[in-house]
Amino acid sequence: MCGRFANHITDMREWEDLLSHWPAGASVSYNIAPSLMIPVFTAEGSAAMRWGLIPNWANEIPRKFSTYNARLETVAGKPAYRHAWSHGQRCLIPILGYYEWRQEGKLKRPYFIRSANGSPLVMAGLWEPGRGELPSSCTVITTEAAPDVAYIHPRMPLFVGRDGVDDWFAAGLGRVRTMLEEWPVPVLDAYPVSTAVNKPQADGAHLIERSHI
């Protein structure tokens, strides 16, 4: 799963042409939590969207269930995501890295997971346009965790490489599932960080510093 991430990105590298035009009104933080308006990129361009998808049939923001993650294995059939999936409403969500918590004895220790080479990570997602007073919204697609981070949590975001962007936006439904399963997984670096990140209101570069405690 992915329930918190950092999107302070400075080194764009091969993503510079896509990520240089961040939308106004989107949150940039070392501690992004669900329900915030975040930078999202679609085939039409960039936009600020609520993290937590609002289904096309909903008249209000869902309160009884969370929609900030969608499992790849079931996304096509889940009522909340079925419309966005079947209509090809795919998006990209760039991050510096994401947080995950691991049970270690009596402590749930937070870890920060990022690309081993320092490049941005770009998560695959789905989105729904705003309507009436409801904002545009999105969800992160998750998959089984790669072996190098599975000891922390069994799930992780599905990442899109730079050379997979065009296919992600354009592939038909008959091809997209196979394509996703064939994508290479980026080499990830994971390390423990301070429990200060546990507070959603906390922010600052110190949150992603390696903790030795």
Is residue 123 one of the residues assigned to a domain?
Answer: yes
Is residue 194 one of the residues assigned to a domain?
Answer: no
How does strand 107-115 pair with strand 37-42? unpaired
Helices and strands counted in the chain (H then E):
4, 11
Is residue 175 one of the residues assigned to a domain?
Answer: yes
pLDDT value for 14 = 78
7 HSE (CA, 13 A, CB side): 22
Sequence-distant (≥ 6) Cβ neighbours of residue 174 within 8 angstroms: none
| CATH assignment at residue 10 | 3.90.1680.10
Is residue 103 one of the residues assigned to a domain?
Answer: no
The domain in which residue 180 lies consists of: 5-97+118-145+155-185
For the chain, the average pLDDT equals: 93
CA distances from 144 to 70, 95, 164, 170 (A): 12, 19, 19, 24
pLDDT value for 178 = 82
Percent of the chain with pLDDT over 70: 99
135 HSE (CA, 13 A, CB side): 16
What is the tens place of the pLDDT at every residue in 140-180? 999 999 999 999 999 999 999 988 999 999 999 888 888 88
- Angle made by CA atoms 59, 124, 156, in degrees to the nearest 5: 100
What is the tens place of the pLDDT at every residue in 10-63? 777 778 888 778 898 999 999 999 999 999 999 999 999 999 999 999 999 998
Q: Measured in whole angstroms, how far is the alpha carbon of residue 147 from the centre of its chain? A: 19
Where residue 13 falls (left for φ over 0; alpha for ψ -120 to 50; beta otherwise) is left
pTM recorded for the entire structure: 0.95
What is the tens place of the pLDDT at every residue in 58-84? 999 998 889 999 999 999 999 999 999
